[in-house]
């Protein structure tokens, strides 16, 4: 082993960045960060992981091929992998290069051993493909094509979402609100009334088509109240929802981001799938109104169709109106309401901004327009 193919834990931001199973080879002074009397580890033992990480970054064609920066800086920006001490030194570029090639065939080494080679940010190509596939449904069916909207033929959508499976226990706290107008309703709402509405009163929503009963609830009281769009002076009935069994859902609210890339086995796959999940999270967060055309909901409805038919119980997503999380359960009776508590809406605050000029000549549906502009 060449004497510079070792490193110590102080080269990295923390020990958590390195696999627990990594064993030191001997003690000594670290050739990179200069720390004395340290356990030294062989770069070869972690070489494949580092190689895969470096491979995520396409090489820039030239200095003008922007954006670009040195590999070490790009990795540090994305993951904060290296210690301040190493990153601030002039050795970090060589460190990255030696690490990347540790244990590889020296003949390959001829091709790219330049530590000052510029790289570009990670290319989220799968995410673009996913986006284009959905957008072509939206943009290509401007007449009545939406009526026959099918889930996008993206087989790997389902293999992506396994990254975001969330098991929620029966003890999960959830609420569901309904506007309660004392003058019209006269009496308090029953538990039955606080359930998901019956088929004939079910309007289409983010996760369901019209007459497809779905239980929507939120993880805090103010979010569930915001979701029913109350006005000042409204009476609101809020029930706690008690899950009847544990649920297995997909979490688009809080995707677990990778913080230690060298602990991940297939870093490329994981990075690409997280990006798609992040994009779906965005789709759920676009506010929609009851008077919006049905087609506004089509992309997320299609994604939920795939999840429903694959046996998941529902999804968790960021509320576009409140600050908390929403749940949509495909089985409307998975959670049962308690007797509601009643509240008055004392005040509502409004924030506003100038509207962008609308292009009335734009031939596509406005949703497709919004969607394109949001390209990940
Ligand atoms: Zn070190």
Domain positions in the chain are 6-119, 125-373
Instruction: Give the environment of ion ligand 1: residues with CB less than 5 A.
Output: 8, 10-11, 30, 32-33
CA 312 / ligand 1 centre spacing (Å): 46
* Helix (H/G/I), strand (E/B), else coil: 47: helix
Between CA 1 and CA 124 the distance in angstroms is: 36
CA 48 / ligand 1 centre spacing (Å): 19
Q: How many residues does the structure list for the chain?
A: 376
CA-derived radius of gyration, the chain: 26
Pairing relation of β-strands 26-28 and 38-42? antiparallel
The per-residue pLDDT string of the chain (376 residues; one tens digit each, 9 = 90 and over) reads: 677 899 999 999 999 999 999 999 999 999 999 999 999 999 999 999 999 999 999 999 888 988 999 999 999 999 999 999 999 999 999 999 999 988 887 776 655 667 788 999 988 777 777 766 666 655 554 444 443 444 444 566 777 788 789 999 999 999 999 999 876 767 889 999 999 999 999 888 888 888 899 999 999 999 999 999 898 888 999 999 999 999 999 998 876 677 889 998 888 888 888 887 887 888 787 776 666 666 667 778 878 888 998 899 999 998 888 889 999 999 999 999 999 999 999 998 888 877 666 555 544 444 555 555 554 4
CA 119 / ligand 1 centre spacing (Å): 24
Any idea what the Cα angle at residue 293 is, between residues 290 and 298, rounded to 5°? 100
CA 43 / ligand 1 centre spacing (Å): 12
Torsions phi, psi of 222, nearest 5? Answer: -65, -35
* Helix (H/G/I), strand (E/B), else coil: 85: helix
CA 54 / ligand 1 centre spacing (Å): 20
CA 29 / ligand 1 centre spacing (Å): 8
């Amino acid at each position: 082993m060449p004497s510079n193919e070792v490193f110590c834990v102080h080269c990295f931001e923390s020990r958590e960045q390195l696999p627990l199973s990594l064993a030191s080879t001997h003690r000594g002074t670290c050739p990179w960060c200069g720390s004395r009397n340290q356990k030294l580890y062989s770069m070869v033992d972690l070489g494949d992981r580092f190689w895969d990480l470096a491979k995520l970054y396409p090489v820039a064609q030239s200095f003008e091929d922007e954006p670009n920066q040195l590999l070490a800086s790009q990795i540090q920006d994305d993951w904060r992998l290296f210690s301040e001490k190493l990153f601030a030194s002039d050795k970090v570029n060589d460190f990255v290069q030696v690490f990347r090639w540790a244990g590889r065939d020296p003949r390959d080494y001829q091709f790219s051993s330049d530590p000052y080679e510029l790289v570009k940010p990670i290319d989220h190509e799968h995410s673009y493909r996913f986006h284009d596939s959905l957008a072509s449904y939206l943009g290509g069916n401007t007449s009545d094509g939406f009526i026959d909207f099918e889930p996008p033929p993206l087989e790997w959508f389902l293999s992506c979402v396994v990254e975001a499976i969330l098991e929620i226990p029966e003890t999960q706290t959830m609420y569901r609100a309904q506007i309660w107008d004392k003058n019209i309703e006269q009496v308090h709402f029953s538990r039955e009334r606080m359930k998901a509405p019956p088929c004939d009163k079910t309007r289409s929503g983010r996760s369901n088509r019209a007459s497809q009963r779905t239980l929507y609830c939120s993880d805090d009281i103010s979010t569930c109240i915001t979701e029913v769009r109350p006005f000042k002076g409204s009476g609101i009935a809020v029930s706690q929802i008690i899950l009847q069994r544990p649920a297995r859902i997909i979490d688009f609210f809080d995707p677990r981001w990778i913080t230690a890339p060298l602990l991940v086995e297939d870093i490329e796959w994981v990075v690409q799938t997280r990006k798609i999940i992040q994009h779906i999270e965005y789709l759920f967060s676009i506010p929609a109104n009851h008077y919006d055309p049905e087609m506004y909901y089509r992309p997320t409805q299609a994604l939920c169709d795939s999840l429903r038919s694959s046996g998941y119980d529902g999804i968790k997503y960021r509320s576009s109106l409140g600050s908390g999380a929403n749940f949509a359960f495909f089985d409307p009776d998975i959670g049962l309401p308690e007797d509601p508590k009643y509240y008055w809406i004392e005040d509502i605050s409004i924030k506003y901004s100038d509207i962008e000029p609308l292009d009335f000549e734009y031939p596509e549906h406005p949703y497709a327009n919004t969607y394109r502009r949001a390209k990940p």
